[in-house]
Structure 1
Amino acid sequence: MNLYPPEAAARHRAAGYWTGELLDAMIRRHAAATPERIAVTDRDRRWSYAELDARADRLAAGLAARGLRRGDRVVLQLPNVAEFFEVFFGALRAGVVPVMALPAHRRSEIGYFCEFAEARALFVPDRHEGFDHRVLAAEVRAAVPQPLEVFVVGEPGPFSPLAELRAPADAPLPAPPDPGDLAFLQLSGGSTGLPKLIPRCHDDYLYSVRASAGICGLSPESVYLCALPAAHNFPLSSPGTLGTFFAGGRVVLAPDPSPATALGLIARERVTLTGVVPPLALAWAGAAEAAGPDGPDLSSLELLQVGGAKLSEEAARRLGPALGCRLQQVFGMAEGLVNYTRPEDDEHTVLTTQGRPISPDDEVRVVDDEDRDLPDGTAGHLLTRGPYTIRGYWRAPEHNARSFTADGFYRTGDIVRRTATGHLVVEGRAKDQINRGGEKVAAEEVENVLLAHPAVHDASVVAEPDEFLGERSCAYVILRPGAERPRPVELKSFVRAAGLAGYKVPDRVEFVAAFPSTGIGKVSKKDLRAHQS
């Protein structure tokens, strides 16, 4: 499967960006050189590089013994537990392709991923944050057309425990994949509500990880706190957990990102860096300020990365002093392009921009509505192409026709300005999408659910500012003639019951008689947003 045009792949190899190394090789390398060094800390468990490597081997052999072959897909929906990496690296080692689902996904999303990707297996926890994933797995397995094995971390219920998949230590390993092969599928939150799958290969993703680890100064002494869901692109690769493994450092998994948990782990495990979204960063800063000198010892923390949503300059000024560390702004996307502010950047640049690209061969265009290039300092649509930016979504020709130019530039949907130094300032989103604390909510997806309610004639979901989340969602609803007005909480429960993730449930519901319209009769979401009180 060619994920890049042959001439582009050859150019990236010749430039040294693509090295032909497999993603799981970083674990094998450190297991051989420093086998006793701790790779992962999960609550009271500590796995060395040797143990993680051996577990990945046994998982790879077990997948092969179950009949899974190179290129087969599995859906990985595990929270921040060490087994996440056991399954991830084991699948990669077998050439099996994980679909990187999030713990917050529910029946609608998991069912779609399993069916669309024709998944052979689903990996879930028994329970997470009060939700029984085994019930979800049973519903999904009953609904998809293909056989679906379910493996559970914890009490398996009617399914197989993960331990059952682990082959004996001396079991034969499957042949390794090719570095240009599809390694895993990430998720893109789109404005249409139809999840798109992002194909990543070993070559392109490892380059992004390696470059990120270098820019962020990771070393074997680095200790990374994974506070966001491990399957998210930001904590996975920017430089995240994989960058830490690449450098031979240690990953500390946070079971939840609350200030009490996260700050306690920073103090206990002597964490040196972490990456979070703006709402979490502000919550941590508030907790640290409130605790004062009697709070957790955060003196080990050197670098706080903030990304996933726009960080205001006012918030940025507060974070470094509150947490006693250096701030780095991050702007990236699972489709590819990653930007960081750098250690050598002046304070103004760090506080007011979202960084510059990691690769000398990242091509960035800022264009108007007609794809004409704009001068620096002018806001426009961001287009990008480079050695780790995909050339198309997986099995999505219609999306690809809209999202990529004929010469391979990805239309990110972001509105940005480029400074004279090449740094980007994110002004907003062109797509009809809500960025709720770093989680992307497609308005159309929520609207379609609301429209199924018997009392609802029409619905329009828009973003509204939120001091903590950055943006939250508001559903404007027109009722059917004669329908009894439901309480807002009833409509929220209706959306939740439809199987959508909790973060997609509207934060606010407002009933209106009509929607403002544009000159051609479309709902004017701009005017709806202006209507907000």
Structure 2
Amino acid sequence: MSTAFQRDQHDVLRGFTPFPEDRAEVYRNAGYWEDRPLATILRRAAERWPDKPGVVDANGSYTFAELDARADRVAAALADRGIRPGDRVLLQLPNSREFAVAVFALLRSGAVPVLCLPGHRSAELGHFAEVSGAVGLVIPDVVAGFDYRAMAAGLVDANPGLRHVLVAGDPGPFESWSALADSAPADRPEFDVDPDQPAVLLVSGGTTGLPKLIPRTHNDYVYNATACAQACEMVHDDVYLVALPAGHNFPFACPGLLGSMTMGATTVFTADPSPEAAFALIDRYGVTVTGLVNALAKLWTQACDWEPVLPTSLRVVQVGGSRLSPEEARYIHDGLSTGLQQIFGMAEGMLQFTRPGDDVEVVATTQGRPMSPHDELRVVDEDGIEVPPGEEGELLVRGPYTLNGYYRAEEANARSFSPDGFYRSGDRVRIFTEGPRAGNIEVVGRVKDVIHRGGETVSATDLEDHLLTHPAIYAAAAVPLPDDYLGEKICAAVVFSGTPVSLAELNAFLDDRGASTHARPDVLVPMPSLPATAVGKIDKKKLVATITAS
């Protein structure tokens, strides 16, 4: 092993928290960890199903064998240009076949892809480059009027370590990504991969501060993708539609692109998730599985009333990103697909699913149960003491695919992990102990997603559940606004789908529903839409800023 290789490998481990040896041994002995590189997911698919379409987009398709060969050629070109094992490379391509090529080419060059989202801009990209020590950036040229090359120029000026900028499309002053495969040397790079080291860096989906980087190892991410596909009961004949940004954990590996590949299922990419475009793709390719955020799932359900082509082939529709109320879940189940699967989880690891065949009420009223038998869950109070079974508290987790520390983020890690390695999710939950829902989890809010009004603590999620039952309300968020008398007053930011109602009418409706008197909105703010984070969650910090600035 060369000195340069050793230096690069050592650098990628700086600021990385590995799995403790005792737990790693348990996961290996249980058969969860296979000690193989993440990129072997594609290699195995190419060996087993060489001629089957592996990835499809608006410009065509690659069979698994073609995708495998193209990834090899690009990996060789990357290595020839100086990308070394352990190097971090920011990847920000839109939903497309080339996203899949890039992921596997980077993995096979030994690099660690940092999976950025299309909506990230220079503040986030600069932060990711600085924290990760990235040496490269892979971007499109122009998407929806935004010139990524201009952004890249500024990033390079501010981050001299970004030595390689590769552009899919017109490269401008940079190098063409598309030309890499044509210029590749004959021999593909070969090197040893430690499956306990980082394979990819994901970005956190929080709404405060800049996103943190989440290291996912080869072992834990192969398991994540494989077990998710099994939880969806995916088979070789399934077709998965990537409708959300492909670099997000949900459509990437839950099961997404990677999980589908473990089963030999085809992945279809779309850059347009509108009902009209998505339904046409679902019909054309016989899409059977997809993953959606709450708002998009409701939009698709509404569109079933007017679109001429309906998504009748859908067998499993996963909905995650934010909690579905029971009313929303029943609406999607009845109007879009009886294969609704609630998924609650995070890029940090832990995943909960409802399962195919679950009773409708279980699917409507819970966010599922742990993916792995070795997922460890604790529900604790404000002092970190476990609450009695069935009671509410903050969810703490650890397991064979949950991180042990954010990447190069000591202060965040001190806040986010218990002394014995449990990740503090920040989600307030209860775990059912009796009846058909036993073992399933219900998310009741965020630990800090509360409003302190006049000495009372109001759950924003509970109020939102009430608001969403109103027939004229399409989307709603409850947020606190400062108040000299009450401390905080309750603001309901609402997107109406029917005739708008007044605050008095809304509170009369809540009164009829039996909502607590201290949980009634003080302010009603109609909005055309609610701001969202890059991963589709309502951005309450931005929402409050918008309201208070108006």
Deviation track 1:99-140 (CA, whole Å, cap 9, x = no partner) reads 110000111111111122111110111111221111111111
Are 1:182 and 2:198 an aligned pair?
yes
Q: 1:26 aligns with which of 41, 45, 50?
A: 41
Q: 2:291 aligns with which of 275, 292, 307?
A: 275
Deviation track 1:337-373 (CA, whole Å, cap 9, x = no partner) reads 0010012321111001000001111000000001111
Distance 1:463 1:360, change over 3 A: farther
In the alignment, which residue of structure 2 is the partner of 1:67? Answer: 82
In the alignment, which residue of structure 2 is the partner of 1:247? Answer: 263
Q: Is the 2:91–2:114 Cα contact (8 Å) retained in structure 1? A: yes
Report the Cα offset of residue 163 of structure 1: 2.7
Are 1:327 and 2:326 an aligned pair?
no
Alpha-carbon distance between aligned partners in 1 of 2:327 and 2:538, rounded to the nearest angstrom: 29
Number of residues paired by the alignment? 463
In the alignment, which residue of structure 2 is the partner of 1:472? Answer: none
Are 1:42 and 2:79 an aligned pair?
no
Q: 2:105 aligns with which of 90, 100, 124?
A: 90
Alpha-carbon distance between aligned partners in 2 of 1:242 and 1:312, rounded to the nearest angstrom: 29
Q: 1:290 aligns with which of 297, 302, 306?
A: 306
Are 1:200 and 2:234 an aligned pair?
no
Are 1:509 and 2:546 an aligned pair?
yes
Alpha-carbon distance between aligned partners in 1 of 2:490 and 2:111, rounded to the nearest angstrom: 39
Q: Is the 2:131–2:408 Cα contact (8 Å) retained in structure 1? A: no
1:3 aligns to what SS in structure 2? Answer: coil
Report the Cα offset of residue 377 of structure 1: 2.5
Deviation track 1:61-95 (CA, whole Å, cap 9, x = no partner) reads 12211122111100001110111111101111122
2:199 aligns to what SS in structure 1? Answer: strand
Alpha-carbon distance between aligned partners in 2 of 1:411 and 1:502, rounded to the nearest angstrom: 20
Distance 1:512 1:25, change over 3 A: closer
**Identity between Structure 1 and Structure 2 (%):** 46
2:382 aligns to what SS in structure 1? Answer: coil
Report the Cα offset of residue 155 of structure 1: 1.0
Alpha-carbon distance between aligned partners in 2 of 1:223 and 1:465, rounded to the nearest angstrom: 37
Report the Cα offset of residue 463 of structure 1: 8.4
Report the Cα offset of residue 97 of structure 1: 0.5
In the alignment, which residue of structure 2 is the partner of 1:451? Answer: none
Report the Cα offset of residue 161 of structure 1: 0.7
Report the Cα offset of residue 512 of structure 1: 8.3
Are 1:430 and 2:447 an aligned pair?
yes
TM-score (norm 2): 0.79
In the alignment, which residue of structure 2 is the partner of 1:409? Answer: 422
Report the Cα offset of residue 192 of structure 1: 4.0
Q: Is the 1:104–1:502 Cα contact (8 Å) retained in structure 2? A: no
Q: Is the 1:78–1:84 Cα contact (8 Å) retained in structure 2? A: yes
Alignment map for 1:365-404 (pairs within 5 Å)? 365-404=378-417
1:124 aligns to what SS in structure 2? Answer: strand
Q: Is the 2:169–2:178 Cα contact (8 Å) retained in structure 1? A: no
Alpha-carbon distance between aligned partners in 1 of 2:543 and 2:369, rounded to the nearest angstrom: 34
Output the amino acid matched with 1:100: L
136-145 or 410-419, larger mean C-alpha shift: 136-145
Alpha-carbon distance between aligned partners in 2 of 1:344 and 1:137, rounded to the nearest angstrom: 48
In the alignment, which residue of structure 1 is the partner of 2:22? Answer: 7
In the alignment, which residue of structure 1 is the partner of 2:370? Answer: 357
Alpha-carbon distance between aligned partners in 1 of 2:48 and 2:69, rounded to the nearest angstrom: 14
**CA-based RMSD:** 3.0
Q: Is the 1:307–1:329 Cα contact (8 Å) retained in structure 2? A: yes
Alpha-carbon distance between aligned partners in 2 of 1:156 and 1:277, rounded to the nearest angstrom: 33
Deviation track 1:130-168 (CA, whole Å, cap 9, x = no partner) reads 211111111111111324321111111111110343353
Output the amino acid matched with 1:304: V
1:289 aligns to what SS in structure 2? Answer: coil
Alpha-carbon distance between aligned partners in 2 of 1:117 and 1:432, rounded to the nearest angstrom: 30
Are 1:346 and 2:359 an aligned pair?
yes
2:118 aligns to what SS in structure 1? Answer: coil
Distance 1:206 1:509, change over 3 A: same
In the alignment, which residue of structure 2 is the partner of 1:307? Answer: 320
186-195 or 7-16, larger mean C-alpha shift: 186-195
* Structure 2 unaligned spans of 5+: 1-12, 451-459, 465-476, 480-487, 498-530, 532-536
Alpha-carbon distance between aligned partners in 2 of 1:275 and 1:386, rounded to the nearest angstrom: 23
1:509 aligns to what SS in structure 2? Answer: helix
Report the Cα offset of residue 169 of structure 1: 6.2
Output the amino acid matched with 1:429: R
2:297 aligns to what SS in structure 1? Answer: helix
Alpha-carbon distance between aligned partners in 1 of 2:172 and 2:320, rounded to the nearest angstrom: 38
Are 1:139 and 2:154 an aligned pair?
yes
39-48 or 296-305, larger mean C-alpha shift: 296-305
Deviation track 1:3-25 (CA, whole Å, cap 9, x = no partner) reads 21111111111111101122211
164-173 or 192-201, larger mean C-alpha shift: 164-173
Alpha-carbon distance between aligned partners in 2 of 1:165 and 1:114, rounded to the nearest angstrom: 23
In the alignment, which residue of structure 2 is the partner of 1:317? Answer: 330
Alpha-carbon distance between aligned partners in 1 of 2:327 and 2:34, rounded to the nearest angstrom: 41
Alpha-carbon distance between aligned partners in 2 of 1:422 and 1:468, rounded to the nearest angstrom: 36
Report the Cα offset of residue 461 of structure 1: 13
Alpha-carbon distance between aligned partners in 2 of 1:410 and 1:511, rounded to the nearest angstrom: 33
89-98 or 174-183, larger mean C-alpha shift: 174-183
In the alignment, which residue of structure 2 is the partner of 1:125? Answer: 140
In the alignment, which residue of structure 2 is the partner of 1:336? Answer: 349
Deviation track 1:190-234 (CA, whole Å, cap 9, x = no partner) reads 354032110101100111111111111111101000000001111
142-151 or 366-375, larger mean C-alpha shift: 142-151
Distance 1:283 1:332, change over 3 A: same
In the alignment, which residue of structure 1 is the partner of 2:527? Answer: none
Q: 1:215 aligns with which of 223, 231, 239?
A: 231
Alpha-carbon distance between aligned partners in 1 of 2:80 and 2:100, rounded to the nearest angstrom: 20
